[in-house]
Structures are given as structure tokens and as C-alpha cells.
A and B are shown apart, each in its own frame.
Chain A
Amino acid sequence: MMTRVAIIGVGWYGFRPMVEELSFREMMFEAAVRAYEDAGGINPRTDVDAFASCQEDFWEGIAIADEFAPEPIGGTLKPVYTTPGDGLQCVASAYMLIKTGQFDVIVAESHAKPSDIVNLHDVMLFAMDPITMRPLAIPNYHALAALEAQSYMARFNVPREALAYVVAKDKRNALRNERASYGANITVDDVLNAPYVASPLTKLDIAPYSDAAAVVVLASEDVARRYTDTPIWLDGIHWVTEDPALEFHEWSFPVHAMRAAEAAYKMAGIQDPAKEISFAEVDNRYSFKELQFIEALKLAPMGEAHKYMVEGMFDIDGLIPVNPSGGALGEGVPFEVHGLARLIDAVLQLRGEAGRMQVSKAEKAVVHSWRGVPTTTSVVAVLSR
């Protein structure tokens, strides 16, 4: 029961605006093969106890999309299930399965091909309450995020420049990330001068989409040591859903992320995150979200992340690097893969295998994911070397 849970293998494919050469199933296969190789050459047919897949039907354009989960990851006639949620929720369920003491090796998988979706905006309308929200036919769903941004900026006096700083930092970080398609050497002024999508968000404040598949292998402590010399420990993980009714949810601050972080830190025995966490990979689908989540994860006091941000504290060479990979602004958003992407970046950092984006101190990491508007679910994981 007291076994620790380790991440022993990661694999990925894609992270490009459009993956034309492979189907989603082939992408899953490629990512799985890489992850199994990375985990010391495990055989999914014999060595894996259960498989978790994170995906949503509407994104796939398939009703009951989980039908297609088993084969590409080697899970046929084995325990496979789908959690329609972010990839990190699959990691959370894998964590629990291992903690029951009945399972030793669990695989978490997620994939997405936004480039296949021709009517993304209509799909987004279907994510809104059919009675209260959908009839409003919001012409651009990013407007919901823009309202949140307005609310957050008004409540805490956050200057527009701080948001632009986030974009410039993350796009610059992404230049060092081999998975990132959207890296760029831009300045705060470039962001401020870009045309608005929905004020205060410009096109550069909004993370673009990308196609990707990611697979993560988790194992109990004993088994992990059999396969790898560099297990990355999952010290804590928790997830919280806030009120899904847009009318009632807290617009100015993501309480869901804060509650999830508090529980994850408690599990990991972390008292003072700002002191103990060496770097963070957090959701930044929208520039202001990175500031909000830094505060929710207690890496800065509530309402003050913007001050530390513009002072460079969260730069790749700062005191607590946030999104040294560039995050979603740099890699793009591959829907439910997003959380696994953040996790993979953190695992590589902790192993010291992050290449040009390696941060100088990588002992303990916090990883966070959010599923975008109009959702209110956050997952927070604490990893250590």
C-alpha cells in the first residue's frame, strides 16, 4: 500500500500544426512504441496491467471514440478504459490504480488531431449549457477567456504588459524546445501591437492548436527499479472541478487550480511551494492564465505574480522557471494531450535530458493542466527526482 508511484517512460509524436502523414491511431502507436522503449523495453502485451486513455468524443468526430483505444497501444483484451478529461487525469487514475496494490504497471495515453476539425467553433458551442449558454451563440469562444482576463486584471490591477511579457517569455523559451512549433523571438511590444481577438487578448495571447499523441508509463516502486535507473517519482496528484455553470463560477481566479494544488502539495509533503519547487510546467492556453496559475499553485502570492513575472523571476534562468518548454503558447494545444505534454517536459527536465531547455536546478517540479474554456477542472501533480 505504501508503495511510491514512478514515471518510468514517456513517448510522444507530433506537436505540429498538422500531422499529415499519420492517422490518430498511427500517432498513438508511434508514441507508445517510444514510451515502451524509454521504459526499458517493456512489452505491453505482458508487462502492463492496465491502460488509461484520455480523449473526448466530439474532438475525435467519433461517437464512443474509446473503441479505438486498445490496439495502437498494445491493450487488446486487456483492461483499458477512457477518462474523458485531460491526460493528467489519466495519470491520476493510474496513480490510484497502483496505490490499490493490485496493479504494478499502468499506461496513460492521449492523442488529438485538431487539424482534422473543420468546425471547431461549433464543437465548442456544444460544450456550453444547452439551455442557458448555447442559445447565446457566442461568436468567438475565446471571448469567455477574455472576460475572465478582464475580471482578473481588474481585481488585481494587472497591467496588460505583464500578459505580453508571458507571451514573449514562453515563445522565446519554446525556441529551445524540440517539440515546439510556435517558438519565436518576439518582444512585449510585438504582443501589445498585435490586433485583438477579444480584448484584452491578441492573437499572440492565445495558444494555437497542434496535433500530437503522448504516452506515459507509470509503475510501482519495486517494479520501477527493475526497468529504469532514473524513475521520476509522482509524489502527489489531485484534481478539482469547480462549478461548471459559467453564470456562477468564479471569473477572476481559478479556485479549482488552487484547491487541487493544496491537496497535491499536502500529499507530497510540501510546506512552502515557492521555496521547495524548482520549476513549473503550467497551463498557459491564454497568457493571463499563466499568471493566475502561478498564484493558484502558490509560487507567488495571489494577485502579485505579474510583478515577479516582469522582474524575470519565472524566466528560464530565473528563480522558479515557469514553462521552460514554452508551454501551450510554444508547443500548441493538442486538446487532452496538453497535460501529458506538460508532464513529459517536466520528466525530461528532472532526468536532466531536456537538452537546450534544461533548467539549472531540477529537483522538484509542479505540473498543472486545465482544459480550456468553458471547463473548470484542474489537475496538479508534484514530481521529484
Chain B
Amino acid sequence: MPRNIYVKHRPAVIGAGITLFRRRMLETPKELAWIAAKQALDEAGLTLKDIDCVVIGSAPDTFDGVHMKGEYLADGAGGVGKPTMRVFVGGATGVMVPIAAWWHVASGHCRTVLAVAEEKMSSADIPHPQAVFRYIWDPVTEVPLQPNLIWIFAMEMHRYMYKCHASKEDIALVSVKNKRNALDHPAAQVAANITVEDVLKSEVLVWPVQLLDISPVSDGAAAFVVASEDVARRQTDTPVWIDGVGWALDTTSWTNRDLAFPEYANVAAQMAYRMAGITNPRREIDVAEVYDPFDYKELHHMEGLGLAKKCEAPILTREGVTQRDGDLPINPSGGLLGVGNPIAAAGVMKVAEIYWQLVGKAGKRQVKKPVYTGLAHAWGDLMQASTVVVMRV
């Protein structure tokens, strides 16, 4: 993997957009996609006519109950008459979208890419799309056991707590921080001023996972525009370069993995760091949006991404390092725990947040220290996939 200085068409993010994240929104998936896409185009100062290619991100088709959802979303995402491609790695799709947008531009195949992710989880089942997750398992060996997705996360959380001597209080701090950060996010669904006490008193779903440890069911869309260097320089004085991309899938057999450390996140991050020329991520990354559908996952992923040493993330969180005014702000947007989790759109929300942080447009969410290099990360499939982008101004 050579350094990205060899990339001739250096791709940059030049605009982003986001809908409200809510449960049971009235808009159709196509409409949600267009609301976000239009905002991104406006911020980039472009119209659909200027867009060469479209990349669509969406997690399982079963949520929307639409087969071939990439085809279905094509008009809402602005892809009519254009090369339109959907990418998919389960929950990690949201950050696979900028990776795909990156290769569309870096290859020289397209100069401008409109990247759109949309998810409507509320259409899947009432009261909770958990039923969809009955179909994510190995159809022969696992489905007959009727597993529930939260069970395996409970196992992983338990394992992490045991291995790292992390307490429930340590982990709850993440939920408290992110939900409070989200108070400043105009699209947020479950922003709140809560305490560790509130988390520990919330309903137990599968011990040790409680209601406030977990992100909500959401509908929403997010989008951004990626352009090649010449277009980016023409449109803006502050392009945000995508300098490194990385992604990896671990084995499908989740039972064979070390649940305490996300190896797949590490492999993906190393790939992105190598491409971006980053040798010490803890020093060189100024702000990060790591995937936090559960509060322990933020800690897990910080360690996988090399932003903390193994088992160090709970300590950094306790010391306030990951706060918005800390030395390494993590999820200043409020993350999935605060803003909401329309799966693929949540990943794109993170990319958008890093873009807004780096160009200084994050408003009340703007982190205190000056930031030049940011990282967005998403995670998915059977706890096996990670996608990472490193962005710079």
C-alpha cells in the first residue's frame, strides 16, 4: 500500500447534508435521500447537472422492505441517468460510502460524486426491527437457535468488561457524554442531559446491556459531495481531503474471535493510516467519530483504531480526554447514542461531522482545540466489519 501521494485525482469532501434523525418519519426513503442530497449539493455550490457519479449506501434491504434498494433509491439519490453504485457492508456501510466515493474520484473515472446514505428502520417491524436481525445469522447452524442481536453484544460487552476491568459506570460515561454532545446537534433524536445513575437505572435488556447503553431505532438520511482536486479548489477554499481509506472484514464465525479486541477495526485503521502516512494515530488524529451503537463499542473501537492502548479507553474517558474540550475529542456530534442510528446514514453523519469540524462549521459542536486531521469509523455485519477514513484540511 503506497502513500497516497501517488493518487493523481486527490478526492475532497466539499459539502454535506443531513435530515433529522427520527423514528417513523413521514417521508419515503426516496424523499429522505433527496433532502440530504440537496443540502450537500447546496453546500458544495453544485447542482445535479454537475454530478458525474452517484454512490448509494444503505444497510439491510429488510429494514425498508425493499428488494434491490439501490435501484429503488436511485432517483431519490439523484442517480437517474448516471453511473450509480451501491456499496454495502452491513452497519459499516456508512463509512464504506466515502471509501467508494474516494475510489470513484481517485481512479479518474468521475470528477464529482454525490454520496447518499438512507435508512428507514421503522418500516421493518413494530415495535422494533429486531425481527430483521433474525435473518442475519448462519441459516444452518445459528438461525434455529433464534438468537437475538443484543445477546451477542451483551457477550462482547461482558468480555470487554472482564478483560479490561471496566465497570458499568466507566461505560455509562460514554452514553452520558454522547447524549449531552448531541444536545447541540440540530438533527439529533435522543439528545439528553443524563447522569451515570440514569444509565444504570434504565431497563435491563440483556445484562449487562441496558436501555441507555444502546442507540435508538431511527429513520434518516445523510449525504456529501466528493470532488477531484481541480473541482474542489474551484468550489471552495476549504476542501477536506480524504487522505486515507481502509476497510476489513473478519471471519463470519464470530464465535471464533477475541471479543475483547476488534482486530478488524485495527486492520482497517492500519490500512487507512498507511495510506495517509500516519504513524502515531493517538498524536496525529485531532478529532474522531468512532462507531457507537452501544456505549462500550466506543471504548472498544478507540482501542481497535489505535486511539487508545488496549484497555486504556475507559481511563481516557474517565479523565475527560474524549470530551469536546478534551485532548482527543471523540464523537463531538453526539454519535449514534445521541444523534440516532439510521444505520448507513449514521455512518455518513459521522463523515459529515468530521468535515464540518475540519472546516470550522460545526457551530456549537465545534471542538475547542484547532483540528487538522480527523477520522470517521463505522462497524457492522456479524461484529466483523470496519471501515475507516482519514480526512485532512
Contact = CB atoms under 8 A, between A and B. Distances in A.
Contacts of A71: 251-253
Interface of A: 1, 23, 49, 56-58, 61-64, 66-71, 75-85, 89, 92-93, 95-102, 123-124, 126-127, 129-131, 238-245, 255, 259-260, 263, 371, 374-377
A130 B120 CA distance: 13
Interface string B264-293: 100110010001000000000000000000
The 9 A-B residue pairs whose C-beta atoms are closest, nearest first, are A99-B107, A126-B67, A96-B107, A241-B84, A127-B67, A63-B135, A100-B106, A58-B67, A80-B249
A96 B8 contact: no
B246 interface: yes
Given A76-B250, A102-B2, A239-B83, A56 B89 contact: no
Given A99-B108, A244-B72, A63 B60 contact: yes
Given A79-B246, A80-B247, A377-B84, 17 more contacts: A1-B6, A64-B90, A64-B136, A69-B249, A81-B99, A81-B100, A81-B249, A96-B103, A96-B106, A96-B109, A97-B103, A100-B7, A101-B6, A102-B4, A241-B84, A243-B74, A244-B80
7 contacts: A66-B249, A79-B268, A81-B89, A85-B85, A100-B106, A102-B106, A244-B75
Given A67-B384, A96-B109, A83 B75 contact: no
Interface string B235-275: 00000000000111111110000000001100110010001
Contact of B249 (A23, A70, A127, A239): A70
Contacts of A102: 1-2, 4, 6-7, 106, 275
A352 to B, nearest CB: 30
A70 B79 contact: no
B375 to A, nearest CB: 17
Nearest to B271: A79
Contacts of B109: 95-96, 99
A130 B69 CA distance: 11
Contact of A77 (B132, B249, B253): B249
B108 to A, nearest CB: 6
Given A79-B247, A84-B88, A130 B65 contact: yes
Nearest to A263: B83
Contacts of B99: 81
Interface residues of B, number: 71
Interface in B297-352: none
Nearest to A131: B28
A129 B82 CA distance: 20
A20 to B, nearest CB: 15
B80 A61 contact: no
B67 A238 contact: no
A193 to B, nearest CB: 35
B104 A61 contact: no
Contacts of A245: 75
Contact of B87 (A76, A77, A79, A83): A83
A100 B67 contact: no
A84 to B, nearest CB: 5
Nearest to A122: B67
Contacts of B74: 241, 243-244, 376-377
